[in-house]
Amino acid sequence: MNWLAVFIGGGLGSMARFGVSKAVMSFSNSLFPYATLLANVLSCIVLAIGLQYFLGKVDAAWQKYFLFIGFCGGFSTFSTFSLETFQLLKQGQNLFAVLNILVSVLLCLFVIWIILKNVSMDV
């Protein structure tokens, strides 16, 4: 059951990522990778809210696999973030590359902290 939950969640997360990417690219042709940033931040929000929701629910194993490993794993993308940062560096867009790294990491950590700061749990 857990394998199926990860499979379905991953497919839905990947489709959500594709949708976010297409939507952002339809109105932005900036060098900065806003689509990847948005997908990663939204994935962190979903992850943190899910952690908060499932806290103490031991009988929700497949739902956790579906959401955390499947959906969030398919929705977020470290590989695309890394490739886009590399491409920015290769194009000489060093400021955008550094901004991408800093904004992506710090914003993702910030949204998780904001949501979970008052939750007593081992993350």
Instruction: Answer whether residue 122 is part of any domain.
Output: no
- How many independent structural domains does the chain possess? 1
For residue 67, which of 101, 41, 44 has the smallest C-alpha distance? 44
For residue 53, which of 115, 109, 110, 108 has the smallest C-alpha distance? 115
pLDDT surpassing 80 at residue 121 = no
**pTM score, two decimals?**
0.91
Instruction: Answer whether residue 123 is part of any domain.
Output: no
Question: What token pair was written down for 122?
Answer: 């081992």
State mean pLDDT over 114-118.
Answer: 92
Q: Residues 74-113: pLDDT tens digits?
A: 999 999 999 999 999 999 999 999 999 999 999 999 999 9
Question: Domain range holding 9?
Answer: 2-117
Q: Residues 4-30: pLDDT tens digits?
A: 999 999 999 999 999 999 999 999 989
Instruction: Answer whether residue 64 is part of any domain.
Output: yes
Question: What token pair was written down for 76?
Answer: 């977020």
For residue 77, which of 22, 23, 35 has the smallest C-alpha distance? 35
